[in-house]
Amino acid sequence: MLIRKLDSIFDLDEEDRQALLDLPVTLRDVAAGQDIVTEGDEPSQCCIVLEGLTNWYKMIPDGRRQIVAFHLPGDIPDLQSLYLGVLDCSLAANTPCRLATVRHEDLKAICRARPRIAAALWRSSLIDGAIFREWILGMGRRSARENAAHLLCEMLVRLDAAGLAVDHQFALPLTQIEMADALGLTPVSVNRALQDLRAERLVAISRRSVRILDWAGLKRVCHFDPAYLHCRSALANAD
Amino acid sequence: MLIRKLDSIFDLDEEDRQALLDLPVTLRDVAAGQDIVTEGDEPSQCCIVLEGLTNWYKMIPDGRRQIVAFHLPGDIPDLQSLYLGVLDCSLAANTPCRLATVRHEDLKAICRARPRIAAALWRSSLIDGAIFREWILGMGRRSARENAAHLLCEMLVRLDAAGLAVDHQFALPLTQIEMADALGLTPVSVNRALQDLRAERLVAISRRSVRILDWAGLKRVCHFDPAYLHCRSALANAD
DNA sequence: CGTGCGATTGACTTTAGTCAACCATAGTGG
DNA sequence: CCACTATGGTTGACTAAAGTCAATCGCACG
């Protein structure tokens, strides 16, 4: 899974792949709703998502919550902890998750030995940054409807790149409450925005699963341009 | 300037510093308001800000604009271009700027030769990411007033860390229009938010210069916690 | 002394938030 | 197997925050 991902964002050679396979990892299962790591922690390992959906969130002391990122299978959500020390937000599981954990020292060693892998990991953290920037744009300048549409577009492309979308359809195991926390809205607004998109026959949403009915139309609604995802999904191009 | 910055975020040794000093750089001056690099470019060099204030911005085709980051002297705004290829946003100068540019190949070479420098640069891009996350929280869950206060707090700590703030006072060469584009608000709302903060005697703002009158009070307004900046400024601690 | 940009203000509109009820569904325990 | 419960989705009525529009003010600059 990790290799598939890194391969997709950087050209690795056979030795790189072997080195990755030789990394000592520990498996860890996390229940839905649980924190994987928590703000203030200083982890000595990183995790790779094998299965499930995870999110980073931040809280304001008075209880307001904001999800700042989602991570899919193949992602290394807490790669930042490798060089950042204490975490500035918490990572939680949206669904039951299976993770592989790798110790920082092993990761640092492989980066030292194989610059190509270091570059791939660095690049992956830069892509995370690019997604953050797009989210900032969305929260600052897009309407609720546009930003909801944009999130669906982003999820489709990312899930597709991870091989988790078929025919413009994918599982999106998020409640509207979680979507609201990601979009900086209230659940009521999210509900109305989604209804809107459904009424226009752009998407069909049922029981945690999304089908994009009119991909071109949905992209038009939110001016979606997948360049920021820096990935090679077919959906990221013409279509 | 670059060394000062990297030193502040990572422990370099004498040889690292010498290697950085030996990097071939080109100086470049940019006028206020000019783009330094533009969305869609594929730069073959990075720039280091020596003097001036720069910002990354994204546009929605219909003209809406969002500033997604500011970069101060010592920062390497487009470090991302080292591994990301085509830019997903544009970098502009808020003020006349003096930049030092370094070719990607030289930067990659120094990273290969001196892992400590690679780590410092990587870390610096991760800090950029941490700031993005905090901005997402702000735009999603903070009121106009809170987020304006938060931006002032962030700027104080960052400028202080760069040696550009004295006694809780610093130059902030931004119009309210630019501030609005950074906060995801309209200029009118920014004006009102700032008036609010002034009326409470938390800050004094005059001709592009800000003086924090009540640092503790200002932090309280926006629940400012500088941990996300991952820097060693005195202001980042107790105070 | 104009000119023009940016800051400020007031009146009004729009969007999203709030509150509260109700519905639908899935899982639980009897 | 079915009623019971809880969670999440939906809806409507109302509120609040921020946006819009437009006029005015203040300054720096040519």
Closest Cα partner for B64 from A155, A18, A137? A137
B175 touches strand C (CB under 7 A): yes
pLDDT at position B235, please?
A: 75
Q: Which two tokens stand for residue A15?
A: 């030795």
The Cα–Cα gap between A90 and A41 comes to 9
A177 touches strand D (CB under 7 A): yes
* Closest nucleotide over all strands to B178 (CA to C1'): C6
A-chain residues near B230 (CB < 8 A):
84-86, 88
DSSP structural state of residue B183: H
Spatial contact of B151 and B137, defined as CB atoms under 8 Å apart: no
Phi, psi of A185 (to 5 degrees): -120, -175
B28 CA → D26 C1’, Å:
35
The Cα–Cα gap between B125 and B114 comes to 17
Q: Is B25 helix (H, G, I), strand (E, B) or coil?
A: coil
* First-last CA distance in chain A: 26
Q: Where are the alpha helices (DSSP H) in B29-103?
A: 81-84
The helices-and-strands tally (H runs, E runs) of chain B is 9, 11
Spatial contact of A139 and B141, defined as CB atoms under 8 Å apart: no
A138 CA → D9 C1’, Å:
24
Spatial contact of A142 and A222, defined as CB atoms under 8 Å apart: yes
The Cα–Cα gap between A20 and A2 comes to 8
pLDDT at position A3, please?
A: 61
What Å distances lie between residue A58 and A136, B195, B225, CA to CA? 15, 28, 12
R_g (Cα) of chain B, nearest Å: 18
B18 touches strand C (CB under 7 A): no
A88 CA → C11 C1’, Å:
43
Alpha-carbon torsion (B192, B193, B195, B200), positive or negative? positive
pLDDT tens, chain B, 239 aa long: 566 666 666 777 888 888 888 889 999 999 999 999 999 999 999 999 999 999 999 999 999 999 999 999 999 999 999 999 999 999 999 999 999 999 999 999 999 888 888 999 999 999 999 999 999 999 999 999 999 999 999 999 999 998 999 999 999 999 999 999 999 999 999 999 999 999 999 999 987 899 999 999 999 999 999 999 998 777 776 55
User: Is the pLDDT confidence value at A193 over 90?
Assistant: yes
CB A126 to CB B80 under 8 A? yes
User: Is the pLDDT confidence value at A116 over 60?
Assistant: yes
Q: Which of B85, B126, B139 sits opposite A139 (nearest CB)?
A: B139
Mean pLDDT for chain A overall: 92
Q: How many residues in chain B?
A: 239
- Using a 7 Å cut-off to protein CB atoms, list the covered nucleotides of chain C: 5-11, 15-20, 25-26
Closest Cα partner for A86 from A125, A38, A118, A46? A38
Closest Cα partner for B148 from B76, B231, B91, B205? B205
Please report the domains of chain A, with CATH numbers, ordered by start residue: 2-127 (2.60.120.10), 142-236 (1.10.10.10)
DSSP structural state of residue B79: G
| B:177-236 residues touching chain A, CB 8 A cutoff | 181, 183-185, 223, 227-228, 230
Spatial contact of B125 and B21, defined as CB atoms under 8 Å apart: no
Closest CA to the C1' of D16: that residue is B143
pLDDT at position A231, please?
A: 86
A125-139, A179-193, A223-237: least confidently modelled range: A223-237
CB A184 to CB B132 under 8 A? no
B-chain residues near A139 (CB < 8 A):
136, 139-140, 184
Three-state secondary structure string covering A124-187: HHHHHHHHHHHHHHHHHHCCHHHHHHHHHHHHHHHHHHCCCEECCEEECCCCHHHHHHHHCCCH
H-run or E-run covering B145: helix B144-161
The Cα–Cα gap between A227 and A166 comes to 21
Q: Residue A3: which residues within 8 A CB-CB, separation 6 or more?
A: A12, A17, A20, A21
Say yes or no: A56 contacts chain B, CB-CB below 8 A: yes
% residues pLDDT > 90 (chain A): 80
B125 touches strand D (CB under 7 A): no
Spatial contact of B232 and B157, defined as CB atoms under 8 Å apart: no
A-chain residues near B65 (CB < 8 A):
141
pLDDT tens by residue, A50-63 = 999 999 999 999 99
pLDDT at position A7, please?
A: 61
pLDDT at position B20, please?
A: 85
Residues 179-218 of A with CB under 7 A from strand D: 187-188, 191-192, 194-195
H-run or E-run covering B46: strand B45-51
B141 touches strand D (CB under 7 A): no
The Cα–Cα gap between B164 and B162 comes to 5
Chain A closest-CA separation from residue B199 CA (Å):
24
B187 touches strand C (CB under 7 A): yes
pLDDT interval class at A21 (50, 70, 90): confident
A62 CA → C18 C1’, Å:
17
pLDDT tens by residue, A122-174 = 999 999 999 999 999 999 999 999 999 999 999 999 999 989 999 999 999 99
pLDDT interval class at A9 (50, 70, 90): low
The Cα–Cα gap between A114 and B152 comes to 42
CB A60 to CB B86 under 8 A? no
User: Is the pLDDT confidence value at A5 over 70?
Assistant: no
